[in-house]
A = this chain, B = another copy of it.
Amino acid sequence: MDVVREFLRGAVPAHVLHHAAGQEVYGAWMAEELAHHGYRISPGTLYPLLHRMETAGLLTSREHVVDGRVRRVYTATETGRDTLAQLRTVVAEVAGEVLVHDE
């Protein structure tokens, strides 16, 4: 029942979209990036998430070969960028609601 972890888990897609809107990203890179921000997400969570986001039309992927190794590279779709915009307003709202310190 780690509520902080739960909150971060919910924020992962926002983070993914944020990065995938500006550049091409791939799973292992995202995992490392997220880890630097205090997220602890396991591959068994991240990869299925990327798949779902692609099936949902938020991301597109193509295979990129680096040193013979296949790397699945994602970018945000138009829908993905729209969703990111919604997400940003929602994040701002939540921040506004929770960050008020007058009890």
- Residues of chain A touching chain B, judged by Cβ–Cβ distance below 8 Å, are 1, 3-4, 6-11, 13-15, 17-18, 21-22, 37-38, 52-53, 55-56, 58, 81, 83, 86-88, 90-95, 97-103
- Report if A103-B53 is in contact (Cβ < 8 Å); known contacts: A37-B97, A97-B15: no
Tell me whether chain A's interface is mostly helix, strand or loop, or mixed: helix
Inter-chain CA distance A6–B53, complex, in Å, is 12
- Report if A7-B93 is in contact (Cβ < 8 Å); known contacts: A1-B52, A1-B56, A98-B15: no
Inter-chain CA distance A7–B95, complex, in Å, is 12
User: A4 contacts which of B52, B55, B83, B102 (Cβ < 8 Å)?
Assistant: B83
Contact B1–A90 (Cβ < 8 Å): no
